[in-house]
Structure 1
Amino acid sequence: MTATEKIDDEQLEFSSPGVDYSGAVIKADPKEVALVRKLDWCIIPTLWVLYFCNFMDRNALTNAKLDGISADIGLKGSEYNTAISILFAGYLIGQLPSNMILTRVRPSWYMAGFVMIWSVVSGLTAVVHDYKGLLLVRFFLGFVEAPFYPGALYILSIFYTRKEIGLRIALFYTGNIAANAFSGLIAAAIFATIDGAHGIEGWRWLFIVTGVVSFGFGVIAFFILPDTPQTTWWLKQDERKLAYERIIRDITEERGTSSTWVGLKDACLDYRTWLFCFLQNMHVSGDSFKNFFPSVVKTLGYNTTITLVLTCPPYLVSIVASALLCWSSGRRNERTWHITWATVAVIVGFLIAAATTNIAARYVGMVIFVSFSSGVNDIILGWGASTLGQTPEKKAVALSLINMLSNLASVYTPYLWPSSDEPRYVMGMAASAAFSVAVIVTTWVITFGLKRDNARIRRDAPETVVFYAY
């Protein structure tokens, strides 16, 4: 069944009668429910663990600084900062070609293979003895990590419908949040137990241990990660057919498959690709506080231990808030108002944190802007995947472009949070609030564009019942 074939009206429910695609959904089929449950148990935990390992390896350098890596390899001035930022140079270079390749290989082998490669590269940081060696390792770490995140989004997008994908991206993204919350505790345990063992410094052990753990999970993922709905080995034949048909049924203006270069051209010529790129870039720009959150919390005036403890609750609340936000968005098949109101809450949090020096009020503001930002991120990515999914090749390219260009924010936003702005960080907070306003405006621009596209589809193909969701 293609996206333009008429579906029996008895199969449809309308949560908002008379509105284009404001909730037209296929009634729950027990076989489909069982399939989705099986996908959830196999795909989500695997990607979650890999994302946790991804950020644990990436954040290892930040934790290693506390154990003396700068002194041990002779870092001076801003060399440590350069070592942090150069990772994104490799990361940006690797994303687009990687997702173009992903549609032509087995995703399970490709993704798991890169997990094992990045684990080895991260582990090699343990043998670094100077600044040049650290730069080389960090650059290549970014390059070999690049396939994972956009690749994971692509895998989710070819197995889950637009109603389902937001929540699944939110659950997947909690791996990132958990890594941010607990990687410091893991590092502390390693420093406290095996620092100096066999004459090896604790920070070197950190890279060895995390690299070995990530490599092990990469081997396991080799057997669990899916390929495509039609070829995943742990799906039965009837499940493969259902998995494929329900995604085709969910796609607006489905066009089959194409070449990777046609997918690149289609993505680049679609105005919506660039709107989603800008939308996600503004969101990530507003999220720049995450790179400085411990420093922001430290301005509350507590010692280092209490400061580190206080950084955890906002992220834990964020896990729950983002899951609920994405669940609500998927249940109502609605994105625009969910992004709008969550972003309004984020803006309120920034304004509270910047407007006062009262400790309780500032911490509440921090909890607010941390808690709602992740959910917005997940809805945007799911929305982009479903809107730009006319072919697998176009979807893969579009997702990599959205993620790649959003990470350009890591180039300029660090300059918005100078330590001279303590304790209120007015420039960073105000800039983040402004970026968040841009998120709301762009969301509504996309919505009006999709409404126009739906009107065109209705005019050209009156029998169509699948429209762009907003």
Structure 2
Amino acid sequence: MSCGIRDTWDKPPEERQFLNRLDSCLLTYAALSYFSKYLDQQNITNAYVSGMQEDLNLVGNDLNYITTAWTCGYVIGQIPSNLLITRIRPSLWIPTMELLWSVLTMLLCTSKSFSHLVVLRFFVGLAESTFYPAIQYVIGSWYKGDELGKRACIFHTASAIGPMFSGFLQTAAYNGLNGVHGLAGWKWLFIVDGVITIPIALLGYLIMPDLPHNTKPSFLYTPAQLDLAKQRMAQVNRRPPSKFTKEKVKGFFTTWHIYTLVPLYVLFNNGSGPTTSMIFWLKSFNTKTKTVYTVGQINVYPLGENVVQVVSTLSWAWWSDAIGLRWPPMIVAGTWSMIVCILLAVTPLYTHIARRWALYYMTTIQGGLSGLILAWANELTGEDSEKRSFIVASCNMWAYVMQAWLPIVIFPQVEQPRVLKGNIATACINFAMMSFALLTYLLQRRDQHRRDINEGSSHESTDRVLE
């Protein structure tokens, strides 16, 4: 993983060697695990259009409700888990939860009814809730500002790569395993996903680091490298965990960070809703008497959305770290996404096929901003490790609180693929996201201005004493 990140050449050899080692361990495990997590997160939709709907007699908005069950479990566990890893070792907690969700994923193949699916998906979501905010917090505990955006976003690209493989896996399962040992192809996808995840979780026990203050010297990191890690975080004022106090917990809510970063992330996370429509659009061409797109094509053709997300995610990350600012990519991506949503709303479903196809591919243009927003949160709250953990988890948690019900309202399955109100609402969401990005930047500048004034006053006082 480290071979693709060329931002360490201007650093001393010892620091460069340490960062290469850290990238190879932390980012490799994080990306592989996130890949497996998104395999699972996407496979429920692939399974639905590949036979699960008919086998389990699913109707109406059942798929939305199954997705919501996962989201509810995912929401409940995030803040407790993220606060917990300030006290226990992430290298034990995160891989253990990954093993648990791999087992639960495989059990999905035993589902006999809608209610069985809902219960299992809830517990899969609960186990997976420990992962994403925890990894973003850990990444924010090791990297400086000019390194952090790229690492956070490289990790996040797995969210696009996972579904890409899910589409190919579903196609392979449907065509190659359908009926083997009496199991339908969609059931084999759940089994394959679980089998892929187990060795990744075991790898985590070996190479996943803890935090700089409690990672022990080993064959991976020397004592000198761990001392260097602590010095690096001290240079950017990113502090290790400290004791929980009443005043500390109050501090989570008495500064502006939670009131701008959380809405910013919530709006981002719900700003690419039209991505879900392409698979339904392709399926809508088929009738009882005519098949325009095969099951394999319906699963594979939307993967262009994921390619666009990977490219744009890495572009936003390198640009942001290069200029030392987080908000400009959010403005560009948000504007682009808003235009795409408006064009989807006014473009006929079946008149301009190529145009609509291209627009669907561009619905993921802002999908890679997650890493930049959480990198920003890590930087802005670095003086308090527990607050940083809480803010990062709160961003992701509240994003999925909204996602638990908002898609049902603005992208109901029964209105797919037209979803006019969903496309219009998403354009408005992107506009609001850009507004909160600018507000966060203005407040960051205000705080920096105040610090500069205070430091200037302090230096003047010191000079007078010396005189």
TM-based fold match above 0.5: yes
Q: Which residue of 2 aligns with 1:367?
A: 361
How far off is 1:73 after superposition? 4.3
Aligned residue runs from structure 1 range 291-440, under 5 A: 291-296=276-281, 303-304=293-294, 305-357=296-348, 358-370=352-364, 372-410=365-403, 411-418=405-412, 425-440=419-434
Q: Distance in 1 between matches of 2:299 and 2:179?
A: 25
Correspondence for 1:97: 80
Matched, 1:47 2:30: yes
Q: Distance in 2 between matches of 1:26 and 1:267?
A: 37
Q: Distance in 1 between matches of 2:165 and 2:245?
A: 39
* 1:99/1:397 contact within 8 Å kept: yes
So what's the TM-score if we normalise by structure 2? Answer: 0.86
> How far, CA to CA, are the matches of 1:350 and 1:64 in structure 2?
27
**Post-superposition shift, 1:141?**
0.9
> Structure 1 length as normaliser, TM-score?
0.86
The one-letter amino acid paired with 1:57 is D
Look up the match of 1:258. Answer: 243
Which residue pairs with 2:462 in the alignment? none
Asked if the contact 2:43–2:163 (Cα under 8 Å) also holds between the matched residues in 1, the reply is: no
1:395-436 per-position Cα deviation (integer Å, ceiling 9, x unaligned)? 111110011011123111332124676665432222111111
Q: Which residue of 1 aligns with 2:212?
A: 229
Structure 1 range deviating more: 309-318 or 160-169: 309-318
- What letter is aligned with 2:212? P
Alpha-carbon contact 1:282-1:406 (below 8 Å) kept: yes
Rounded Cα–Cα distance in structure 1 between residues aligned with 2:66 and 2:414: 22
Q: What is the rounded CA distance, in whole Å, between the counterparts of 1:263 and 1:333 in structure 2?
A: 29
From the superposition, tell whether residues 454 and 48 of structure 1 become closer, same or farther in structure 2 (CA, over 3 Å). Answer: same
One-letter amino acid matched to 1:38: R
Aligned-residue RMSD, C-alpha: 2.7
| Residue matched to 2:227 | 241
Equivalent residues, number: 439
Counterpart-to-counterpart distance in 2, 1:333 and 1:463: 27
| Distance change in 2, residues 1:135/1:355 (3 Å) | closer
Q: Which amino acid aligns with 1:242?
A: L
Superposition map of 1:443-454 within 5 A: 443-454=437-448
Flag structure 2 segments of 5+ consecutive residues without an equivalent: 1-7, 287-291, 460-467
CA contact (8 A) 1:125 1:204 kept: yes
CA distance in 2, matches of 1:200, 1:342: 43
Deviation at residue 384 of structure 1 after TM alignment: 1.2
User: In 2 relative to 1, CA 55–335 (structure 1 residues): closer, same or farther, beyond 3 Å?
Assistant: same
SS for the counterpart of 1:159 is coil
Measured at CA, do residues 135 and 263 of structure 1 come closer, stay the same or move farther in structure 2, by a change above 3 Å?
A: farther
Distance 1:315 1:263, change over 3 A: farther
Which of 125, 132, 145 pairs up with 1:142?
125
Deviates more, 1:49-58 or 1:345-354: 345-354
Q: Which moved more, 1:74-83 or 1:88-97?
A: 74-83
- 1:211 Cα deviation after fit: 1.2
Q: Do 1:48 and 1:175's aligned partners in 2 also have CA atoms closer than 8 Å?
A: yes
Cα offset, 1:77, TM superposition: 4.8
Identity %: 25
Q: Answer yes or no: is the 8 Å Cα contact 1:350–1:429 preserved in 2.
A: yes
Which residue number in structure 2 is paired with residue 275 of structure 1?
A: 260
Stretches of structure 1 lacking an aligned partner (at least 5 in a row) = 1-24, 466-470
1:193 to 1:364, Cα distance in 2 relative to 1, 3 A: closer
Deviations 1:295-314 (A, max 9, x none): 25667996345554431223
Is the 2:79–2:393 contact (alpha carbons within 8 Å) kept by the matching residues of 1?
yes
Matches within 5 A, 1:103-114: 103-114=86-97
Cα offset, 1:96, TM superposition: 0.8
1:212 correspondence with 2:208: no
